[in-house]
């Protein structure tokens, strides 16, 4: 009964947002990894992403949060075509990118780009910044020397680097500068969607704000839409219009950021918010106990039940609850959301 | 770059001096000499007076420091002394034998690179696959087989049974004579190169910047060609350099086995006869070769990896 009801809600949802300008639509995305069980064990299936629906409107920033291992980076890689989904569909700017199972990485690269987490490892140490920035242009058919030079210079200026930085190698830069290069590399093809996969978590706290502000500024000047992935709600709070919380391969709560931060409905979201260091301690939520369960052996019922302090018998017995409307655009996947 | 090249070459000099001192002192303190080798080792006893005269003629009665001083001063002019055994200048003996040894080492290394690097590469592209398993088993066997045994097997198969190749000797210096010793010598660096290449490529294939390259829409072939191969090269080159240097030492066994008229077999013969000037000369040439190869590898690093800068 409940599942059927929520299905109706989601359909109604997509009908209404079709009018609004949706630039990315992810439907029932699943990424399963088949692991060999060694010599004697039987092969196992790791459900890294298990039925994720996402929508990103033009000009919006969607925060995707969760612990390490919850599948958020796998979602990111699928969106930019670096990880083939097991099933489900991804639609970018009205075009299906996963049709027929094969991915046209080259076409995709012009629409969706990704800023990687580690600015130290994600740049080829043996090529200059210029080469790193020129490569995508050449790959995508920009031949004129003057245009290439022009676009490289413009992009460097956009991310706050000087023209003479172009002929240096990545190791000559600081972490923050390298992430600026990473951002420039992602933006040089003029993508519409940028997936930022933990863009500041490898950086010193002191320069995180600079990079976040740079990203926000570029979003406005270049008219970008972001998916901002982070395990740190503090970062997401600062940037996102909407937030989706992931737990063990599924989205457990999603809604406008103010709703999520001020009236979180899922016990897991409450635990995440409780983990933000905050001297004023605005919400007396209780932190989650224990670790993310082994994704190879997910618990029965609600995946969060072993760690949830509000857990009741039905949570462990009943099949996983569906994403249900909590209020307006605020959806939550919890048996007890209403009572809490 | 040029300044570094000059400085790096000059570094060889003190090392050579230290090696000269070490070899000289070593051979001065170990018991036995050419005279005792002649008299005691079943070559017929020699008269005490003759022995005494030989000692004197060869300068073996002089104190160590006097002998060392005269050795070094001659060495400075490129004179390695005179062989006790053949009374030939060691310099000309070495010169005659340097070419066959270089031939052997380069041929062995060529074999190792041409077979080992592609093998490791193919293995890494499909880790756990059939080619990977087969080549890595081959590599471990190649590394663990003793050279003299492998050499004998090859000799038996290709010379005795099949009759395709001459079994030993230098012959007219032709390619046919080179193949068996070169393959014997080349098998272990080949195996090591295959393993190193595989490990390097595997590591780089999963590196973040390779994922970055894919994210800009690069085709897999170009990713491998431009990002993976160039970065794997540093590790491969290091292995080639190290192996090159040590091949000189490994060549001793192979040269002896195949009666190859190189520096290695000169070394073995001279050691047995306590022909100290010849031994010292042969070892010095081997050391010099090692040092030069290492210096060259250091120089190449600067060329291929911008992160490495020597100041």
Please state the ipTM of this predicted complex: 0.71
pLDDT tier at B115, thresholds 50, 70, 90: very high
**Chain B environment of A105 (Cβ under 8 Å):** 214, 217-218
Shortest Cα distance, chain A CAs vs residue B304, angstroms: 8
A180-189, B38-47, B49-58, range with the lowest pLDDT: B38-47
From CA B115, how far away is CA B9, in angstroms rounded?
31
**Chain A environment of B305 (Cβ under 8 Å):** 125-126
A62-66, A103-107, B264-268, range with the lowest pLDDT: A103-107
Given a contact cutoff of 8 angstroms between Cβ atoms, the answer to whether A154 and A236 are in contact is no
Q: Nearest-CA residue of chain B relative to A82?
A: B215
Position A4 scores a pLDDT of 43
Percent of chain A surpassing pLDDT 90 = 25
Position A214 scores a pLDDT of 92
Three-class HEC string of A325-338: EEECCEEECCCCCC
Q: Which helix (H) or strand (E) holds A197?
A: strand A193-197
Q: Is the pLDDT score of A168 beyond 50?
A: yes
Interval A143-158 mean pLDDT: 91
Range 126-165 of A in CB contact (< 8 A) with B: 126, 128, 135-136, 139-140
Given a contact cutoff of 8 angstroms between Cβ atoms, the answer to whether A252 and A246 are in contact is yes
pLDDT tier at B227, thresholds 50, 70, 90: confident
From CA B5, how far away is CA A332, in angstroms rounded?
67
Position A1 scores a pLDDT of 40
Range 61-80 of A in CB contact (< 8 A) with B: 80
**DSSP class of residue B165?**
S
Note the pLDDT tens digit of each residue in B280-301. 888 888 888 888 888 888 888 8
Given a contact cutoff of 8 angstroms between Cβ atoms, the answer to whether A3 and A322 are in contact is yes
Q: Give the residues across from A95 on adjacent strands.
A: A92
Position A63 scores a pLDDT of 92
Given a contact cutoff of 8 angstroms between Cβ atoms, the answer to whether A49 and A74 are in contact is yes
Position A7 scores a pLDDT of 42
DSSP H stretches of helix in A126-264: 129-139, 145-158, 175-187, 205-222, 233-239, 257-262
Question: Is pLDDT larger for residue B152 or for residue B54?
Answer: B152
Given a contact cutoff of 8 angstroms between Cβ atoms, the answer to whether A152 and A134 are in contact is yes
The encoded tokens of residue B84 equal 């006790």
Contact residues for A142 (Cβ-Cβ < 8 A; gap 6+): A148, A151
Q: Which of B217, B231, B304 sits opposite A109 (nearest CB)?
A: B217
Q: Quick one: residue A190, left, alpha or beta (phi over 0 = left, psi -120 to 50 = alpha)?
A: left
**Chain A environment of B129 (Cβ under 8 Å):** none
Position A13 scores a pLDDT of 46
Shortest Cα distance, chain A CAs vs residue B219, angstroms: 8
Query: Locate tokens 């070892």: which residue?
Result: B283
Contact residues for B180 (Cβ-Cβ < 8 A; gap 6+): B151, B154, B155, B158, B159, B165, B166, B167, B168, B258
Q: Is the pLDDT score of B155 beyond 80?
A: yes
Query: Locate tokens 């001793």: which residue?
Result: B252
Chain A / chain B CB contacts < 8 angstroms: 69
Q: Nearest-CA residue of chain B relative to A124?
A: B209
The encoded tokens of residue A262 equal 């001020």
Hey, what domains does chain B have and what are their CATH numbers?
A: 2-76 (no CATH), 96-304 (1.10.3720.10)
Question: Is pLDDT larger for residue B211 or for residue B60?
Answer: B211
Q: Hey, is the C-beta of A122 within 8 angstroms of any chain B C-beta?
A: yes
The neighbour count for residue A151, using CB atoms within 10 Å, is: 18
CA torsion sign for A14, A17, A18, A21 is negative
Q: Is the pLDDT score of B311 beyond 60?
A: no
CA torsion angle B272 B273 B275 B279 (round to 10) = -10
Q: Is the pLDDT score of B247 beyond 90?
A: no
Name the nearest CA neighbour of A115 among B215, B162, B3, B129.
Answer: B215
Question: Is pLDDT larger for residue A274 or for residue A138?
Answer: A138
pLDDT tier at A102, thresholds 50, 70, 90: low
From CA A56, how far away is CA A288, in angstroms rounded?
29
Position A285 scores a pLDDT of 61
Note the pLDDT tens digit of each residue in A282-292. 555 666 677 77
Q: Which of B209, B217, B227 sits opposite A139 (nearest CB)?
A: B217
Given a contact cutoff of 8 angstroms between Cβ atoms, the answer to whether A13 and A42 are in contact is no
Q: Which of B216, B227, B307 sits opposite A109 (nearest CB)?
A: B216
Mean of all residue pLDDT scores within chain A: 83
Contact B305 A114 (CB under 8 A): no
Q: Hey, is the C-beta of A269 within 8 angstroms of any chain B C-beta?
A: no
Burial of B77 (0-12, 13-18, 19+ CB in 10 A): exposed
Is the pTM for the entire model greater than 0.80?
no
Position A279 scores a pLDDT of 63
Q: Is the pLDDT score of A8 beyond 70?
A: no
Position A152 scores a pLDDT of 93
pLDDT tier at A180, thresholds 50, 70, 90: very high
């Amino acid at each position: 009964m409940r599942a059927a009801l929520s299905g109706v809600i989601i359909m109604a949802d997509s009908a209404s947002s079709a009018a609004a300008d949706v630039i990315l639509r992810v439907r029932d995305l699943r990424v399963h990894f088949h692991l060999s069980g060694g010599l004697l064990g039987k092969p196992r299936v790791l459900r890294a992403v298990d039925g994720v629906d996402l929508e990103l409107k033009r000009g919006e920033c969607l925060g995707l949060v969760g612990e390490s291992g919850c599948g958020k980076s796998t979602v990111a890689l699928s969106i930019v075509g670096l990880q083939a989904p097991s099933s489900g569909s991804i639609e970018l700017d009205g075009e299906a990118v996963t049709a027929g199972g094969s991915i046209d990485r080259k076409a995709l690269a012009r629409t969706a780009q990704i800023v990687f987490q580690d600015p130290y490892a994600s740049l080829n140490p043996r090529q200059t910044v210029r080469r790193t920035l020129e490569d995508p242009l050449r790959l995508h058919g920009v031949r004129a020397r003057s245009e290439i030079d022009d676009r490289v210079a413009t992009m460097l200026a956009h991310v706050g680097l000087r023209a003479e930085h172009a002929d240096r190698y990545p190791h000559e830069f600081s972490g923050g500068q390298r992430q600026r290069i990473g951002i420039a590399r992602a933006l040089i093809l003029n993508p519409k969607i940028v997936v930022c996969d933990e863009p500041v978590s490898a950086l010193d706290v002191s320069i995180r704000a600079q990079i976040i502000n740079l990203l926000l500024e570029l979003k406005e000047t270049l008219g970008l839409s972001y998916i901002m992935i982070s395990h740190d709600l503090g970062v997401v709070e600062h940037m996102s219009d909407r937030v989706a919380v992931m737990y063990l391969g599924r989205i457990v709560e999603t809604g406008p950021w103010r709703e999520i931060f001020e009236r979180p409905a899922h016990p897991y979201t409450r635990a995440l918010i409780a983990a933000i260091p905050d001297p004023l301690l605005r919400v007396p939520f209780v932190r989650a106990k224990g670790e993310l369960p082994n994704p190879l052996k997910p618990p029965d019922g609600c995946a969060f039940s072993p760690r949830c302090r509000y857990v009741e018998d039905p949570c462990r017995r009943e099949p996983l609850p569906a994403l249900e409307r909590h209020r307006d655009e605020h959806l939550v996947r919890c048996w007890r959301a209403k009572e809490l | 770059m040029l300044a570094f090249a000059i400085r790096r070459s000059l570094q060889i000099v003190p090392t050579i001096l230290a090696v000269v001192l070490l070899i000289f002192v070593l051979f001065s303190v170990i018991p036995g000499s050419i005279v005792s080798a002649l008299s005691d080792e079943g070559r017929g006893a020699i008269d005490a007076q003759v022995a005494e005269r030989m000692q004197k003629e060869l300068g073996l009665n002089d104190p160590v420091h006097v002998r060392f001083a005269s050795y070094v001063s001659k060495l400075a002019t490129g004179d390695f002394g005179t062989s006790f055994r053949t009374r030939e200048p060691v310099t000309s003996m070495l010169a005659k034998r340097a070419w066959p040894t270089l031939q052997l080492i380069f041929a062995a290394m060529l074999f190792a690179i041409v077979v080992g690097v592609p093998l490791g590469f193919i293995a890494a592209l499909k880790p756990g696959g059939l080619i990977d398993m087969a080549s890595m088993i081959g590599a471990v066997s190649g590394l663990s087989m003793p050279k003299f045994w492998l050499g004998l097997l090859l000799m038996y198969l290709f010379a005795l049974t099949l009759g395709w190749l001459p079994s030993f000797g230098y012959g007219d210096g032709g390619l046919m004579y080179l193949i068996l010793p070169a393959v014997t010598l080349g098998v272990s660096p080949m195996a090591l190169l295959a393993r190193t290449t595989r490990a390097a490529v595997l590591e780089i294939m999963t590196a973040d910047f390779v994922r970055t390259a894919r994210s800009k829409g690069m085709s897999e072939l170009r990713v491998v060609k431009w990002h993976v191969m160039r970065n794997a090269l540093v590790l491969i080159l290091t292995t080639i350099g190290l192996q090159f240097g040590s091949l000189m030492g490994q060549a001793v066994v192979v040269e002896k086995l195949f009666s190859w008229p190189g520096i290695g077999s000169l070394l073995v013969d001279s050691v047995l006869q306590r022909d100290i000037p010849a031994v010292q000369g042969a070892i010095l040439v081997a050391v010099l070769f090692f040092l030069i190869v290492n210096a060259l590898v250091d120089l190449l690093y600067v060329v291929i990896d911008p992160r490495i800068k020597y100041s």
